[in-house]
Structure 1
């Protein structure tokens, strides 16, 4: 049963919300209410197998653990993108890639978020099974491991060898600052099971008397009074119910966090007025200027049958602006229902210049918002991925143990991949960041403590506050951010 009041209401029980709710409830004198629109689960033997198996990514069509959004990736390329929905969020259903942002990524953040400032919190969240001491943690809640070299999937082993043969630097620890190169992926996996923030942080404290977790509960609006958040409204069947709060922390993700702010009257004035939403507090940056990693899938065929299952991504190659992903199996194998039968080598642009926007659905603002990525709009982005595809083809040509001869077909224009080929093979890494970005300029939404500018008692804590998408996947950085904000708020 929903309480009528809580000291803190946390909206969204995903990767960040799980951490925030758990850590804030460490204080027995503070009541915490976590509201999650998706469904929950119990740890242990009853945990659904699709959430437990790190080799399975249950985000395909019809998944009960995701929400789907229509997206315009670039001119001539639309797609449906999915985000985790349920306790643990995307961290409960992703590929368990747990690589930290690099020191240079934090140069765009406020000074208090420099690499040296955040390193203690990266250590605090993890227990690294492969590296002890130094920059790594040994008593954090997230287990981190890498597939041992002798157990690498044949695709992973062949890719690693091909990258070394091409002159790329071997990197033992991709979570360490230093030279870029090829190495094994740090994964939040224990005994073959995905172990995200929902399981690691939230489940062990679910029995606390001061923590209430309500799933299947959709927050429709933040209640504001005189520029202060005083509670939330939740959909309760045919009616709307109000819950009072001393503080509201929005952790609904980079899509739904800006949507909720805008539905509450916080956002770009012209956009809200055009939809008949009263402007309570104008903030031009809500939903605008996000970044994400575009990904080109370079298909090929196996030489022979390769063994499965395995984690989808065991090895990656990093260059200054690109990440090459040697997926172990076709997406159709790892993501049931996706229908992708050919294996691919992913080419990811890690430092994109193009920026996108999240806007409310003009037909019904309460429905899933509209995502406009504007991928490859910047000419430098297009040039970078075009060069990356050429590099990918060269790497695949060196993976003779697993790649069938002549199976790498890249349609070319003037000796390089054509624009049409790039667009037809374009996807997204689902690393959307920066829809409520942190900073102190006129387009920022939150300050360096994740407090919404101009509104007391309201914070946003998830990847939406990143100034820009990190040059690595954002999951480890999101957990670090949530842990730090919660601990320093106690």
Structure 2
């Protein structure tokens, strides 16, 4: 007789790795973790700045592409997602941001009991190990080590922070502490100069336990049902069609793969499923709908001071950085490209920040075809100031277009489709120029390259950010959580409405998008979700 697991987790990404660790820790539960991709033990995955190489690498990346978007002047945006152990935490920029406390209070106010600021703060503190910050807000001794730039911050960070102060922004030493608003230096999921992905922090220790089985190159194709209860998962592994049986099935594939698998299994918009010949288990139009995402744009200047371009563009600079990294695990390859930044309001009447700011001491106006140009910057000293909206009102969707489980789903977004999204981005790009006009940063700038000094009136600025902006890879909310089955996909215990034995636990369950990078909140959902599942198992 085939083995029946207590839990089957589909997806070894940010949330799935945390689930695998937490659900096997006691030794009581047998867990199977299915991952469509392969190992994370690759040089360019473990080296922090190596994410420039993984951006277009189909061996570790789903490489999704969205439908042409009218809000982006008809362009088709690129959606990289991790397809390996650690998921997108193995190919992201490693910035660690929890989000604003009021974001989670909004979750609670919408009826999501157990997901308010106090509950998620407890989860964050329990899972992290951060040496700095106020212990009232930061955790010590958890499995996820978070680090600062320390003495490795680029010299341009100092004039950037001075300029933002003169532009009216306060200095904030810890965006994950008492107050998110302000500017400062980012924190990272990096440990001893190596990417500290969810796989490294949570899954690798758990893989030593006998009650966890991890299957790689195992792409789930369908959830198996007996009546109204999910009882297993069908998957393909190296050309073989296999089944696994479980008492509890947990989807942790992220905001694209989780709704895709639900729809392939008969849970989603009934008319769509009927049209594709998929038997409907539960008609729920919310599956794959209401996707939220952050969109951003960079402004770029030619500098008179050296930037990372000068270090990483010439062959000898690459060699020097490579030797430094291999010998010491330090230098530019041991860091993220996003060093300075913060959160600000585009209007003083707002109660919390609505824009995120990034300072990158490099520029990439002349990219190499087929490769994200982080490791091949421009042949001159360049600096970029970037923005992304924190709480956009534009939405999109993820819908299958075929019953073939190996076909990519159709991703449609309507960026800048609301007046408020356009107005706040317009105000934000104007504020970028205000920052650039402040000393000492202004004195280090030779010329604005993008969009250029000729782009000044509102219509031209709007057309520019529609043309040049795109996703910052924070997709969420496609299986949103809520108490009302008519307006959500899962309840507050992460159980899929209308069926039994099936949960979703990843960024797709966010009721609304949080302000900031989404890797930390996705791991928190895994941690908090495991707590809920273990509570229910004891009940």
Establish whether residue 405 from structure 1 lines up as the match of residue 399 from structure 2.
Answer: no
Preserved CA contact (<8 Å) 2:300 2:448: no
Q: Where do 5+ consecutive residues of structure 2 fail to align?
A: 312-331, 345-352, 535-539
Which one is further off, 26-35 or 10-19? Answer: 26-35
Map of 1:311 onto structure 2: 336
Report what 1:218 is aligned to.
219
Partner residue of 1:471? Answer: 515
Q: How much has 1:397 moved relative to structure 2?
A: 3.3
Distance 1:123 1:78, change over 3 A: same
User: 8 Å contact 2:30–2:212 — kept in the other structure?
Assistant: yes
| Residue of structure 1 in register with 2:389 after alignment | 349
2:137, 2:178 within 8 Å by CA — same for their partners in 1?
no
Matching residue of 1:435: 478
Query: Counterparts of 2:373 and 2:49 in 1: how far apart (Å)?
Result: 17
Aligned-pair distance for 1:481? 1.4
Are residues 1:67 and 2:62 paired? yes
**Residues 96-116 of structure 1: per-residue CA shift (max 9 Å, x gap):** 111112111013321321101
Alpha carbons of structure 1 residues 250 and 26: separation in structure 2 relative to 1, 3 Å: same
Secondary structure of the corresponding residue to residue 70 of structure 1? strand
SS at match of 1:97: coil
SS of residue in 2 equivalent to 1:111:
coil
| TM-score normalised per structure 1 | 0.93
Question: Does 1:337 pair with 2:371?
Answer: yes
- Structure 2 residue 432 is matched with structure 1 residue 383: no
Q: What pairs with 1:148-297 in structure 2 (closer than 5 Å)?
A: 148=150, 150-178=151-179, 180-297=181-298
Structure 2 residue aligned with 1:107, among 74, 86, 105? Answer: 105
Residues in 1 aligned to 2:266 and 2:33: alpha-carbon distance in whole angstroms = 22
1:321 is the counterpart of 2:354: yes
Give the TM-score, by structure 2 length: 0.85
- Give 5+ residue unaligned stretches, structure 1: 42-46
Q: What is the alpha-carbon distance in structure 2 between the residues aligned to residue 179 and residue 423 of structure 1?
A: 28
CA positional deviation for 1:251: 0.4
SS of corresponding position for 2:50: coil
- When residues 240 and 414 of structure 1 are mapped into structure 2, their CA distance, relative to the original with a 3 A threshold, is same
Distance 2:90 2:124 in 1: 19
Report how many aligned residue pairs link the two structures.
483
* Kept after mapping to 1: 8 A contact 2:260/2:400: yes
Give the structure with the higher percent helix.
Answer: 2
**Counterpart-to-counterpart distance in 2, 1:73 and 1:176:** 39
Give the Å deviation of 1:277. 1.2
User: What's the Cα RMSD here?
Assistant: 2.3
CA distance 1:412–1:486, change in 2 (3 Å): same
Change (3 A) 1:465 1:229: same
- Assess if the C-alpha contact under 8 Å between 2:395 and 2:414 holds in 1: yes
Partner of residue 452, structure 1: 496
Which residue number corresponds to residue 14 of structure 1? 13
Q: Which residue of 2 is the match for residue 23 of structure 1?
A: 22
